[in-house]
Amino acid sequence: MKLLQEAIEKRGEIINDSILKVDSFLNHQIDCALMEQIGIEFANYFKDKHFTKIVTIESSGIAPAVFAGLKMNLPVIFLKKSEPSTMKDPVYTEAFSFTKNRKYTLCMERSCLNPEDSVLFIDDFLANGQAFISAEDLVHQCNAKINGIGIVIEKSFQKGRQLIEEKGYDIYSLARIQEMKDNKIVWAK
């Protein structure tokens, strides 16, 4: 997605060869016009799939998931990083944050998904695939199925895509980074 690549090049900050900061439009401050285009792009790519829900992880996945949900007329569920006292029947899993270099617990109310649900998982970044593995675990605990994965920014030089493709999922990444070196981004073809 050219518009997203341009935003990354102009407004992103390469911290090192594996960390890209996009706080100015995605992870802290949200560029709603860009998120709308991201939602349209996901809706167009997945138009022939019959999803019933979108699942993401709080908080950085929420904006792209909500805009995709708006364009696809689907509800969005976000997996929480802490359990609120109002949850009656939560399901849990552990996740590892590459950026924060720590484990955390993800949870959701079991009743949000059921065996008839066909899920589109959307997230802001794909690196090593650990966030997806955790989301997949929660979806499966509810006996629902993931039938597509939408990623805003993929670090193709890490193993996340390979892990997901080996599981047979349909994955669509809007901006695939082959390499970040010398403060420059090389886009995957």
Taking only the tens place, the pLDDT of each residue in 137-176 is 999 999 999 999 999 999 999 999 999 999 999 999 999 9
Residue 79 DSSP one-character state = E
The answer to whether 69 is a known ligand-binding residue is: no
The answer to whether 101 is a known ligand-binding residue is: no
State the residue range of the domain holding 44.
Answer: 2-187
Reduced to 3 states (helix: H, G, I; strand: E, B; else coil), residue 78 is: strand
The answer to whether 144 is a known ligand-binding residue is: no
C-alpha 61/C-alpha 99 separation (Å) is 14
The answer to whether 27 is a known ligand-binding residue is: yes
C-alpha 68/C-alpha 108 separation (Å) is 20
The answer to whether 114 is a known ligand-binding residue is: no
Taking only the tens place, the pLDDT of each residue in 166-185 is 999 999 999 999 999 999 99
The answer to whether 20 is a known ligand-binding residue is: yes
The order of strands in the sheet holding 184-187 is: 76-79, 53-57, 118-126, 145-155, 171-181, 184-187
Domain count, the chain: 1
CATH number assigned to the domain comprising residue 62: 3.40.50.2020
